[in-house]
Amino acid sequence: MKFSNILVMTLTMAMALVLSACSSLPFSFSSPVEITYSSPDRISFQGKGAGAGIALMSTMGPVGIALGVAIDEGIAKDIRTNAEMGDIDFKTIIDLALSQSDLLKNAERIEVKKYGFVIKNGSKDYVAAEIDLVITKDSEVQTVKLSSWEKQQELELWITLDDIKTKPEAIETLFSMALK
């Protein structure tokens, strides 16, 4: 046999091996289930702003509520900036976790309604990640809220509002916990 024939056969076998190895993975990074995101498709934050808005409403009227909402939106913007600095891509994290989840079993469609952070203990400013999903299975619609809070309590992992505004790894930790 010529050297060129041996080289072609070796390369062909190597390609066949690589291709067959990829097909034996236990999961796929792309899901046949449609995953969509509701608008506004960005990280949200729900904290003390809503409560402050209600308190301000008594003196300022509807402007007080708007001010409270603006406070929370400003904090969400700080979190988004921190995530960008840490190269955190929420859609990739969510899509990958959902593609490996039992939630997809028999699902036709998953809509991510909202994802972000919520203050859980006002006096300590502890936060949890929350993701609201609408799952369509067999033409039935089911609403699911994923949260990191229960796991945080179990592990006594207290991440504060300041942590998610300044430490990208805190954001990733809470999202990973919520998606498990």
Q: CATH number, domain at 145?
A: 3.30.160
Q: Residues 73-127: pLDDT tens digits?
A: 889 899 999 999 999 998 888 888 888 888 777 888 999 999 999 998 766 889 9
Secondary structure element (H or E) that encloses residue 11, with its range: helix 3-23
Would you tell me how many other CB atoms lie within 10 Å of the CB of residue 113?
14
Record the tokens describing residue 63, joined without a space: 């402007």
Non-local (6+) Cβ contacts of 84 within 8 A are none
Q: 25 pLDDT band (50/70/90 cuts)?
A: very low
Q: Does some domain include residue 65?
A: no
Q: What is the pLDDT of residue 159?
A: 95
Q: Establish if 9 belongs to a structural domain.
A: no
Structure-model confidence comparison of residues 23 and 160, the more confident one:
160
Q: Examine the pLDDT at 10 and tell me if it is beyond 50.
A: no
> Does 34 map to a domain?
yes
129 - beta bridge partners? Answer: 117
Q: Is residue 167 part of a domain?
A: yes
How wide is the angle at C-alpha 29 spanned by C-alphas 133 and 34, nearest 5°?
40
Confidence label for 56 from pLDDT (cuts 50, 70 and 90): low
* Helices 62-85, 48-60: inter-axial angle, 10-degree rounding: 150
Residue 124 lies in a domain: yes
pLDDT band for position 168 (cuts 50, 70, 90): very high
Q: Is residue 152 part of a domain?
A: yes
**Which of these ranges, 23-37, 72-86, 91-105, 130-144, has the smallest mean pLDDT?**
23-37
Per the structure, the complete domain to which residue 40 belongs is given by 29-44+88-179
**What is the per-residue pLDDT for 18?**
47
Domain count, the chain: 1
Question: What pLDDT is recorded for position 166?
Answer: 95
Residue 83 domain-assigned?
no
Of 4-13, 47-56, 129-138, the poorest mean pLDDT is in 4-13
Higher pLDDT, 57 or 126: 126
Beta strands in 59-125 (DSSP E): 107-121
Does the reported pTM lie above 0.75?
no
